[in-house]
Structure 1
Amino acid sequence: MKKIILAMAAVSFVFLAGCSESETGAGGNTAAAVANDVTKTAEELANSMTPEQKASAVNDARTAAEAAAKAAGQSDALIQQAGDAAAAEAKKALGVQ
């Protein structure tokens, strides 16, 4: 469960950083490549999760993204957007409707 939360938090941080595909991160990987790796990992983990675990992971991703945005001093609107984006990506990665 902790791995999925960390994966979703990583997606949230990529979103918050506002990275474009042309920017590179640590090790020369593009932000898009890192996001793709995180998504693949999340999909692999999702195959072994129950529906209840998936729902919890979506909520945890939202909470983590909102906490990160708040810690970064973002406005209430951006905090909400970060949470919404993280929840949407978590649902997508986990195959939740």
Structure 2
Amino acid sequence: MTEDRDKLLLNLEVRVKQVLLLCDKLKQENSRLKEERVLKDERVKSLQKELSLLDQKYNSLKMARTITAASVDVEAAKLKLSKMVREVDKCIGLLRK
């Protein structure tokens, strides 16, 4: 009977040591994963800031393009209008003859 108990006790001791080793490994992995998560969170924040800056630059460029396009359109419209006025003046001149 004591032999069986000794075997059981030894078996239990081995299993407890295995569980403790597994627990230590899991704690280490958990710690590593937490550090990895912190690094990833920092990367995400950095990328979000970069995205925000790029959005601001994009909006500024879009606004500048709109203003530039509007200026070019105004100049083109003025040139076309001047050309049309000259043509109308020519037509009026021809009608007077």
User: TM-score, normalized by length of structure 2?
Assistant: 0.25
The structure with higher relative contact order (CA 8 Å, sep 6+) is 1
Larger radius of gyration: 2
User: TM-score, normalized by length of structure 1?
Assistant: 0.25
